Amino acid sequence: MEAEARPKIIGARVQRVEDPRLLAGRGAFIDDVNLPGTLHVAFCRSDHAHARIVDIDSAEASRMPGVTAIFTAADIEGKMHPIRATSRMADYFATELPVLARDKVRYVGESVVAVVAANRYLAEDAAERVAITYEPLGHAIDPVAAAEAGSPLLHEEAGTNVIVTRTFARGDVDEVLASAPVRIGDTFRMHRKTPAAMENRGYLAEYDQGRRALTLHSTTQIPGIVRDALVEMLDLPGNRLRVVAPDVGGGFGGKGALYPEEILVCIIARQLGRPVKWLSDRLEDLMTTNQAFDEIVEAELACDEEGRILGLRAEVIGDVGAYSIYPWTAAIEPVQVVSFLPGPYRVPVYRGRVRAVATSKTPTGAYRGVGRPISTFVMERLIDMAAAKLSLDPLEMRRRNMVRAEEFPYKSASGIVWDRAGFMECLDGVATAADYKALRQIQTEARAAGRWVGIGLASYAELTGLGSRIAVAPGMPVNTGTESARIRVDSTGAVTAYFGIASQGQGLETTLAQVIAEELGVRLEDVEVIQGDSAVVAHGTGTYASRSAVLAGGAAILSARAVREKVLEAASHLLEADVGDIDTGNGRIFVKGTDRALSFRELARAVYSEIGRLPREVREGMDLEATRMYDPYFGTTTPASHLAMVEIDPETYGVTITRYVVAEDCGRIINPLIADGQVQGGVAQGIGAALMEEVVHDDAGQILTASLMDYVVPTAMEIPAMEIIHLETERPDNIGGFRGMGEGGTIGAPAALANAISDALAPLGIMINELPATPERLFRLIEAATTRNERRATRVG
Amino acid sequence: MIRVTVNGVTSEHAVEPRLLLTDFLRHHLGLTGTHVGCEQGVCGACTVILNGDSVRACLCLVVQADGGEIETVEGLGTVDNLNPLQKAFQEHHALQCGFCTPGMLMTGVDLLRKYPLATDAEIREGLSGNLCRCTGYVHVVQAIRSVVQAEKNGS
């Protein structure tokens, strides 16, 4: 029996180990962490988009019951070193990141005054009594106007609101466009989104006066980055500053940056010597959590008569809001739009230029997909528009241009190197699974009956699991290319694994335990994964950018192998056999082909406790523990194709998704159940982005979507059942053979739906080049098209 | 003074009139399984069962629950002994971050008690007041469907 060593646990559809506590209401989210004597913070936030702070009167508020202290920018002056998101990027201005607004406010919702009281009810009561006098300054709301000279400046010292400019170019695209047989283009618009995790942000700081040590409990995706930043800002050594992420209720990038509120609770806790907590309410979340996807893209594609792409040109304006966020900078979202725009296609000649424009709005950050939902939307629309012009089927148009298997590694026009992955296999996979021809037949019949039915395809590739060679954000000073794993078999034989990543629902406690169990030869339930705590590893940055399976999984493999070597060495003495004859599996250590075996518990006792079991020279210096860092150096490519079929209701203008198919290649799958969940959840957010979600500001910069009744996210009524095809074409060149896959669903869905709706409305001559395609937008487009067509008919008649 | 029965345990409390049921459950009784996602009655994370009907605990003052019987997620099953719906959620991977899950479960309990749930469309409609940002709902629907099926087979 024991000859059947090390059962395959990687790839098994095992149930998640974190589920029982979450299902029984025994999770520990930030607001479930309660410390005696905790003080609570409520903020007075700016109700102006851009205004000078003339006066703050908090005298009455300070006399309110339960109020301990009130802080303004002046009160924290000198208690921290200010922070900016620096970068080596040229043409970049690093704005400051104020903890409380000083001198002026730059967006509605910016924190100005912090009221500290015995509980949140009293803190809010007192906050209402703080009087702040503002002198309004000129608005910079529309990014196009804000980019122009003469616009009111958000950051005077920058001299402009254009805080990032970047161009990617290969060849002379103007020349190609001038002589191209087919030339199509348009202006595309994706409106601003917000991550809207179900748990709002929250922070709890405690200061141990005896140890002079600070612990921050934070709903963060990046505990290591926050710890390192706070060490610099607060002049505390890293061994007295710990950042712990408890159970975190979704992040999607929104919890993946350093926030003013988490710095502030640390300052206050240290000053008052009491635990200090701030929890965002939903209004604050929708006003202040980093937003996303706010771009205007003017793009043009050139093809020959056979539909082969000759060149691509794009001008992008990214509305990045008021500040450049730490550590990613304001470049993270809009620069990715131009670097990924050529997509999985052969684009020989390219120029993509982006300008990131500061406006009087919430800062933008790295929301799931980051830039690529827009780049894919634009490129996939251009592909369909070109196909229509050439009377080519959209599937055939993609086949003619997609990078083929023999062309890998392929260097894209923007300089991204795609490694061998199933580009064409995903496209074929989705077409076969959906029975594309049959769907076209169904559509033809529906169209003949006057129904608005359409089919949309979208193909893309993303770079995931980035190593140290490719920074997650351009020129940033933080190394995002390494992760660490520390694995320890303790004196009872139990296995504990420590990581610098920080799960927000991805199931990393399960998938990393699967990796370790298989590599070490123990059972899944023998492994406890500790993550989301800056104190457990020397360096780690967190969970973002579809990196954790590749980087933390890789570190887990290396570390587990190192521990296993130690286990085998000890066992060779205990079992009196050569290391090469010993194997591990199911929590047992055994001599192959014999019944001589030990449990991990017996081995651990012999190593640590039962002096004399091992020769002194072996036992001395022996522990069953190892720490390994993993750096995949480059990144790995994850491709996918999506197919959506939709029908538009002629009365409500609502879009119903009647079919949704995804084919993706994420390499070696650790847990198919979790992989499916990531795709479904990602697609659901992409559907939201395509059909309903939109942060709306009025002309004065007031946010009009400040509740979940106004910022509409999908419910169970809008998200269809999905078919998912996982393809594993070739193992990528990283130790685990994994490709990152947490974001892809959100990348493909807006494009597939924009194409499907455009296809449904093609008889009316309507193209969906602005998202979300809400019923109101569809109504306006259809009304205008109907009027236009009627006029034309009248003229002809 | 108010008197409430929570998961079968009756107790009396002196409370402020403006105290929300969510804050009462979480901070006075220490039942932190009920989560607060919006305080505006939209997201459904705080759903509990009050006198046999699912309600938004964030829109309910605790004084409104005086004399009432409340069921929360802690009353369903324990970490070591999950109830059939909780088990189905685990088997079908119907949760990711787990923040909306207590509300989903309490809505699910209410739906399973009251409706035949013959079609997935009925389940989806029943869940439409509970937002989940992680799962895309697909596995949640499957989990509830499996319990409907098991109950049908069992009876």
Mean pLDDT computed over A451-476 = 93
CB–CB contact B42 A708 (8 Å): yes
Q: What is the mean pLDDT of residues A169-178?
A: 97
Q: What is the pLDDT of residue A2?
A: 44
Q: Are A19 and B141 within 8 A, CB to CB?
A: no
Which residue is closest to B30 within chain A, CA to CA? A32
Contacts of B71 in chain A (CB under 8 A): none
Report the run of H or E that residue B111 belongs to, with start and end.
helix B101-114
Task: Report the pLDDT value the prediction gives residue B155, as an integer from 0 to 100.
Answer: 65
The minimal CB distance from A707 to the residues B42, B76, B101 is found for B42
- Which residue of A22, A30, A255 to mutate against B (max B Cβ within 10 Å)? A22
Contact by Cβ (8 Å): A248, A220? yes
The boundaries of the domain holding residue A532 are 482-630
**Which chain B residue is nearest to residue A502, measuring alpha carbons?**
B97
Q: Which two tokens stand for residue A144?
A: 């196009």
Contacts of B36 in chain A (CB under 8 A): 31
Q: With 70 as the cut, is the pLDDT of residue B4 above it?
A: yes
Same structural domain, A277 and A309: no
Determine the distance from the C-alpha atom of residue A513 to the mean position of all C-alpha atoms in its chain, rounded to a whole number.
23
Distance between CA atoms of A206 and A222, rounded to whole angstroms?
19
Among A505, A709, A715, the residue with its CB nearest the CB of B40 is A709
CATH number at A640 reads: 3.30.365.10
Query: Which residues from chain B sit within 8 angstroms of residue A714, using beta carbons?
Result: 136
Looking at the fold, whether A277 and A299 belong to one and the same domain comes out as: no
Intrachain domains B2-75 and B84-154 with the same fold:
no
* Secondary structure class of A579 (helix, strand, coil): helix
**In chain B, which residues have their Cβ closer than 8 Å to the Cβ of A681?**
96, 133-136
Cβ proximity of A5 and A585 under 8 Å = yes
Q: What is the DSSP letter of A87?
A: -
N- to C-terminal Cα distance for chain B? 43
Report the pLDDT value the prediction gives residue A731, as an integer from 0 to 100: 87
CA pair distance A473, A477, nearest whole angstrom: 9
Arithmetic mean of pLDDT, A703-722: 97
Mutate to test the interface with A, among B34, B59, B71, B138 (most CBs of A within 10 A): B138
Task: Name the residue facing B101 among A23, A34, A674 (closest C-beta).
Answer: A23
Report the C-alpha gap between A775 and A649 in whole angstroms.
Answer: 9
Whether residues B82 and A21 touch (CB distance < 8 A) is answered with: no
Measured in residues, chain B has a length of 155
Q: Do residue A781 and residue A655 come from a single domain?
A: yes
Mean pLDDT of A131-157: 96
**Backbone phi, psi, residue A609, to 5°:** -115, -40
Residues within 8 A of B (CB atoms), A 187-216 only:
195-200
Judged by a CB distance cut-off of 8 A, whether residue A367 touches chain B is no
- The answer to whether residues A612 and A731 belong to one domain is no
Tell me, which fold does domain B2-75 have in CATH?
Answer: Ubiquitin-like (UB roll) (3.10.20)
**C-alpha distance from B152 to closest chain A C-alpha (Å):** 23
A22 located within any domain:
no
- Report d(CA A789, CA B6) in Å as an integer: 64
Interchain contact, A250 vs B96, CB within 8 Å: yes
Same domain, A621 and A643: no
The secondary element (H helix, E strand) that includes residue B57 is none
- In-domain check, residue A165: no
Residue A116, domain member (yes or no): yes
Among B102, B123, B133, select the one facing A713 at the smallest CB separation: B133
**Domain of A78: which CATH number?**
3.90.1170.50
B77–A24: do the CB atoms touch at under 8 Å?
yes
Whether A311 shows a pLDDT value over 60: the answer reads yes
CA distance readout (Å), A65 to A123, A281, B103, B111: 9, 22, 34, 44
Q: How far apart are CA A248 and CA A518, in angstroms?
A: 27
Q: Map out the domains of chain B as residue ranges.
A: 2-75, 84-154
Contacts A–B by Cβ distance under 8 A: 179
User: Does A725 have pLDDT greater than 70?
Assistant: yes
Q: Estimate the crossing angle of helix B101-114 against helix B120-127, to 10 degrees.
A: 130
Distance from CA of B154 to the nearest CA of A (A): 24
Please indicate whether, in this complex, the C-beta atoms of A198 and B128 are within 8 angstroms of each other: no
Query: A445 and A490 in one domain?
Result: no
Assess if residue A651 is contained within a domain.
Answer: yes
**Of residues A19, A200, A745, nearest to B90 (C-beta):** A19
Q: Tell me: the pLDDT tens digits for A258-301?
A: 999 999 999 999 999 999 999 999 999 999 999 999 999 999 99
Pairing of the two strands A452-464 and A417-418 = unpaired
B46 to chain A, closest Cα gap in Å: 11
Residue A508 lies in a domain: yes
A8: nearest Cα among A699, A514, A542, A366: A514
A69 and A215, same domain (yes or no):
yes
CB contact under 8 A, A198 and B132: yes
For residues A651 and A785, membership in a common domain is answered with yes
Q: Report whether A261 contacts A278 (CB < 8 A).
A: yes
Shortest Cα distance from A739 to chain B (angstroms)?
Answer: 20
Span A474-503, pLDDT tens digits: 888 899 999 999 999 999 999 999 999 999
| Contact with chain B for residue A780, Cβ under 8 A | no
Assess if residue A786 is contained within a domain: yes
CA distance A8 to chain B (A): 20
pLDDT confidence band for B71 (50 / 70 / 90) = very high
Compare CB distances from B137 to A15, A195, A684 and report the shortest one's residue: A684
Last residue of a domain, one of A610, A630, A650: A630
Q: Does residue A254 contact residue A280 with C-beta atoms inside 8 Å?
A: no
Residue A643 and residue A621 in one domain: no
**How many angstroms away from the CA of A674 is the closest CA of chain B?**
7
pLDDT at A454 over 90: yes
Mean pLDDT of chain A, nearest integer: 96
Higher confidence at residue A77 or residue A2?
A: A77
ipTM tops the 0.95 cut: yes
To the nearest whole Å, the CA of B40 is away from the closest chain A CA by 8
User: How high is the pLDDT of residue A797?
Assistant: 59
**Percent of the residues in chain A that have a pLDDT greater than 90, as a whole number:** 95
Check residue A7 and give its pLDDT.
78
- Tell me the chain A residues in contact with residue B123 when contact means C-beta distances shorter than 8 Å: 716
Compute the nearest-CA separation of A544 from chain B (Å). 15
Query: How many of the other CB atoms lie within 10 Å of CB of A655?
Result: 27
Assess if residue A62 is contained within a domain: yes
Q: How many structural domains are present in chain A? A: 3
Transcribe A308-339 into DSSP letters.
-EEEEEEEEEEEEESS--BTT-TTHHHHHHHH
Cα separation, A132 vs A468, whole angstroms:
46
- pLDDT grade for A448, boundaries at 50, 70 and 90: very high
Question: Left if phi > 0, otherwise alpha if psi is -120 to 50, otherwise beta: which for A388?
Answer: alpha
Closest chain B residue to the Cα of A13, Cα to Cα: B91
* Residue of B39, B46, B106, B133 to mutate, testing the A interface (most A Cβ within 10 Å of its Cβ): B133
Question: In the numeric block, which tokens belong to residue A157?
Answer: 């010292």
Please tell me which of the candidates B72, B95, B136 has its beta carbon nearest to residue A683: B136
Give the pLDDT band (50/70/90) at residue A4: low
A chain contacts of residue B100, beta-carbon cutoff 8 Å: 198, 249
> Distance from B16 to chain A by nearest Cα, in Å?
11
pLDDT score, position A3: 45
- If asked whether residues A619 and A736 sit together in one domain, one would say no
Residue A504 within a domain = yes
Per-residue pLDDT tens digits for A592-627:
999 999 999 999 999 999 989 999 988 888 999 999
Binding-face residues of A in 256-315 toward B, CB within 8 A: 281-282
Q: Which residues contact B49 (CB under 8 A, 6 or more apart)?
A: B55, B70, B71, B72, B106, B109, B110
Q: Is A20 in CB contact (< 8 Å) with chain B?
A: yes
* Tens of pLDDT, residues A235-260: 999 999 999 999 999 999 999 999 99
Instruction: Say yes or no: A245 and A304 in one domain.
Output: no
Contacts of B137 in chain A (CB under 8 A): 680, 684, 715-716, 719
A678 has pLDDT over 60: yes
The tokens describing A633, both together, are: 């150096």
CA angle A418, A420, A422 (to 5 degrees): 105
Last residue of a domain, one of A581, A597, A630: A630
Distance from CA of A707 to the nearest CA of B (A): 8
Q: Which CATH architecture has domain B84-154?
A: Orthogonal Bundle (1.10)
Residue A600 shares a structural domain with residue A666: no
Q: Given A630, A652, A686, which residue is the final one in a domain?
A: A630
Return the structure tokens found at A167: 């161009």
pLDDT digits (tens, 9 = 90+) for A28-37: 999 999 999 9
